[in-house]
Amino acid sequence: MMTMISFYFALGVTVWLIWLSGTVVGGSDLHTRGLNNPLCMKPSWMPKNVLLGVLRQPALYRFLCHAPPACLLLASYRPESLACRLLAALSFTAYSLVETSVTHSHRDYPATYALWVLACFGESATSQGLILGIAVHLMISSGIAKLRVGGVAWAYPSTMRGVLGHYVNKAGADGPLIKPLTAWARSSKAVLFGFGAGTLFFECVVVPLGLFLPPGLRVMVAYGAFGMHVGIAALQSLAIGTAFLVNSVIYAYGFGSGVQPFTSGNGWPEALAVASASAFYSIFIGLLPENFPSTPFALFAWNGKQWDSLFEHLVTGNTRLVVSPDGPPQVGAEVFPKVAGTELAGGDGRPDCSQSCTFDAWDQFLGETLVPSSDFAKRIFPNDSGLHVPNLCRAVDEYLKAESIVVIDTGRPALQSFFVQLKPGTQVVARVLADAHGAVGT
Residue 396 scores a pLDDT above 60: yes
Q: Give domain status of residue 356, yes or no.
A: yes
- Span 410-440, pLDDT tens digits: 999 999 999 999 999 999 999 999 999 887 7
Q: How many domains, the chain?
A: 1
- Write out the H or E segment, with its range, that includes residue 210: none
Exposure string (b/e) for 17-33, b if CB count within 10 Å is 16 or more? ebbebbbebbeebbbbb
Using CA atoms, how far apart are residues 317 and 425, in angstroms rounded to an integer?
A: 10
Q: Would you mind telling me the total number of residues written for the chain in this entry?
A: 442
Q: What confidence tier does 441 reach under pLDDT thresholds 50, 70, 90? A: low
Q: Give domain status of residue 406, yes or no.
A: yes
- Span 257-310, pLDDT tens digits: 999 999 999 999 999 999 999 999 999 999 999 999 999 999 999 999 999 999
- Span 162-221, pLDDT tens digits: 999 999 989 889 999 999 999 999 999 999 999 999 999 999 999 999 999 999 999 999
- Span 322-348, pLDDT tens digits: 999 988 999 999 999 987 555 555 555
Q: Give domain status of residue 430, yes or no.
A: yes
pTM of the model: 0.95
Q: Is 40 helix (H, G, I), strand (E, B) or coil?
A: strand
Using CA atoms, how far apart are residues 95 and 105, in angstroms rounded to an integer?
A: 12
Using CA atoms, how far apart are residues 218 and 392, in angstroms rounded to an integer?
A: 42
| Residues spanned by the domain of 362 | 304-439
Q: Give domain status of residue 113, yes or no.
A: no
Q: Give domain status of residue 103, yes or no.
A: no
Q: Give domain status of residue 281, yes or no.
A: no
- Span 48-79, pLDDT tens digits: 999 999 999 999 999 999 999 999 999 999 99
Using CA atoms, how far apart are residues 97 and 64, in angstroms rounded to an integer?
A: 10
CB 41 within 8 A of CB 405: yes
Q: Give domain status of residue 289, yes or no.
A: no
Q: Give domain status of residue 384, yes or no.
A: yes
Residue 253 scores a pLDDT above 60: yes
